[in-house]
Amino acid sequence: AQTVTQSQPEMSVQEAETVTLSCTYDTSESDYYLFWYKQPPSRQMILVIRQEAYKQQNATENRFSVNFQKAAKSFSLKISDSQLGDAAMYFCACMNRDDKIIFGKGTRLHILP
Amino acid sequence: DTAVSQTPKYLVTQMGNDKSIKCEQNLGHDTMYWYKQDSKKFLKIMFSYNNKELIINETVPNRFSPKSPDKAHLNLHINSLELGDSAVYFCASSQPGGVYNEQFFGPGTRLTVL
């Protein structure tokens, strides 16, 4: 069975500082995708960053980067230079080749001015 | 017990046809969503309904029309299907409020337009 675990229900970071959100996953698939989604108060899922499991290089998108440790099945999200607009729920997700997607429980990120 | 179900799982159809995808959730949630999975595998929001009322309507061709007969159902009707509509469509639901705004996803409907 595919599982995704986010062990931090809530986190806070000072504006302009760096924060890392943890995610571990378990899958028996050899080929899969990992995502971080942001959920603002309007509640839809917005993609933050995506990583293909066969790629060793960590994905980056502007201030967002991941630390993908395939052997450890770890996929953490680093947000640099945190901004007030980054405050949201963040969900880690794993999708296999059959498009079955499993989300973690989410981490609520607070940005302190 | 399936929490969020979609029918059909696979849909193959000709260009120009009209088709519907049905979604039902038995979780008692107030909010339902339709997402389209693009070629890079990530999910893009299309619509969101809260208690049968449309609350999110992203830039989607007006050939796509969601219909919510009650809060447990959110169907997606697509008119005049085009090749570019081929994708996997996911339905989801969530309950507002609480610490976690977890969304529960259906299994997806793979639409292939020929």
Encode pLDDT of A45-102 as tens digits: 788 999 988 888 899 989 999 999 999 999 999 999 999 999 998 999 998 776 677 8
Distance (Å) from the alpha carbon of B81 to chain A's nearest alpha carbon: 22
Measure the CA angle with vertex A81, ends A79 and A84; round to 5°: 90
- The shortest CB-CB distance from A35 to any of B33, B42, B100 is to B42
Nearest residue in chain B measured CA to CA from A46: B44
Q: In terms of Cα–Cα distance, which of B7, B4, B5 is closest to B111?
A: B7
First to last CA, chain B: 34
Task: Give residue-wise pLDDT tens across range A8-52.
Answer: 999 999 999 999 999 999 998 888 889 999 887 666 678 899 998
